[in-house]
């Protein structure tokens, strides 16, 4: 993550008091230096958990975070499995968003350098990297050796591996779409995205694609994966190796796509779904549930069908 986050325990407790949250337990630390997903957090991090199912309980049981926003009805379970500071609230993601808005600080970046392309001096570009005209590259970007970036791209909060191709007018690392309704103020609160994008080696990204920066952690695209034009990748998506996403595919937030999958044109995957390795998603299909390995899905909502023996028929 690029940016800074630092908050004392007393400031966190004051925030909770202002939001009507009654803290539970004790924090192992008096100062927090970061925010992270539950399964990646360290003891100086603050996290949140909006789930009360098996995955949420598993994350709570194994997290190393010292403070976690949780749902009120899981507080007894949470206290038993790990005695840290819990902040029970009706909408943990909302309260976490408001905390980030107060205490997260992004580095300043003035894009008006007049350079063409505009490459921030703190960006790290490997050898034999080519960057087209009217492209902007931010201060926290790393580009691997031999990568080619076409004109008109905008890249920030990202690492890009070796020998990648990025097509014209593609945007990598902008904030994802995340909002919560605050019943106290009556406002719609945006979730501040403070994560990154991590792109492997030999990845092809077509023209006019959008790959969102994660809310926390990283949006990931594995080695050798190929993206066609006009594709949207939402925040916190994790795409495996050697996947192929064709024209106008839309991937909602927090989706997992395992290795060697094929997604046909105009297919859509709703948030928090997973697609097993070597699966095929047909043209215009809408994925509303998890997909097992080696499945062929078609329709809206998509259902499993026999895989054609000849993919060109």
CA 64 – CA 36 distance, rounded (Å)? 10
Annotated active-site residue 235? The verdict is: yes
Residue 17, sorted as left (phi over 0), alpha (psi -120 to 50) or beta, turns out to be: alpha
Tokens 């920030």, located at residue: 156
User: Could you tell me the two tokens for 304?
Assistant: 């499993």
Token digits for 119? 């490459």
In the chain, DSSP finds a helix count (H) and a strand count (E) of: 4, 37
Question: Where on the phi/psi map is residue 44: left (φ > 0), alpha (ψ -120 to 50), or beta?
Answer: alpha
Per annotation, catalytic residue among 154, 157, 193, 235: 235
Give the CA distances from residue 273 to residues 113, 254, 257, 258, in Å, rounded to whole numbers and listed in that order.
41, 7, 9, 11
- Pairwise CA distance, residues 123 & 4, whole Å: 18
Q: Two tokens at 187?
A: 């406002």
Residues assigned a catalytic role = 235
């Amino acid at each position: 993550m690029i940016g800074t986050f630092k908050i004392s325990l007393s400031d966190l407790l004051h925030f909770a008091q202002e939001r009507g949250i009654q803290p539970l337990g004790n924090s192992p630390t008096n100062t927090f230096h970061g925010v992270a997903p539950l399964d990646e957090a360290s003891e100086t991090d603050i996290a949140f958990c909006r789930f009360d199912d098996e995955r949420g309980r598993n994350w709570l049981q194994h997290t190393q975070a010292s403070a976690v926003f949780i749902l009120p009805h899981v507080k007894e379970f949470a206290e038993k499995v790990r005695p840290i500071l819990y902040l029970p609230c009706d909408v943990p993601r909302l309260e976490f968003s408001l905390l980030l808005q107060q205490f997260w600080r992004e580095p300043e970046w003035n894009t008006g350098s007049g350079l063409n392309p505009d490459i921030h001096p703190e960006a790290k570009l490997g050898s034999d990297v080519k960057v087209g005209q009217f492209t902007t590259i931010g201060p926290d970007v790393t580009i691997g050796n031999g990568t080619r970036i076409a004109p008109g791209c905008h890249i920030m909060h990202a690492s890009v591996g070796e020998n990648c191709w990025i097509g014209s007018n593609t945007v990598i690392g902008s904030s994802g779409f995340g909002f919560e309704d605050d019943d106290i103020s009556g406002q719609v609160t945006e979730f501040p995205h403070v994560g990154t994008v991590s792109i492997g080696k030999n990845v092809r990204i077509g023209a006019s694609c959008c790959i969102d920066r994660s809310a926390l952690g990283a949006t990931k695209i594995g080695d050798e994966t190929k993206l066609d034009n006009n594709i949207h990748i939402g925040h916190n998506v994790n795409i495996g190796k050697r996947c192929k996403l064709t024209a106008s595919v839309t991937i909602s937030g927090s989706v997992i796509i395992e290795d060697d999958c094929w997604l046909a044109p105009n297919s859509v995957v709703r948030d928090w779904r997973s697609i097993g390795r070597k699966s095929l998603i047909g043209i215009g299909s809408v994925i509303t549930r998890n997909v097992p390995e080696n499945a062929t899905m078609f329709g809206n909502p998509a259902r499993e069908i026999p895989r054609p023996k000849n993919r060109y028929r």
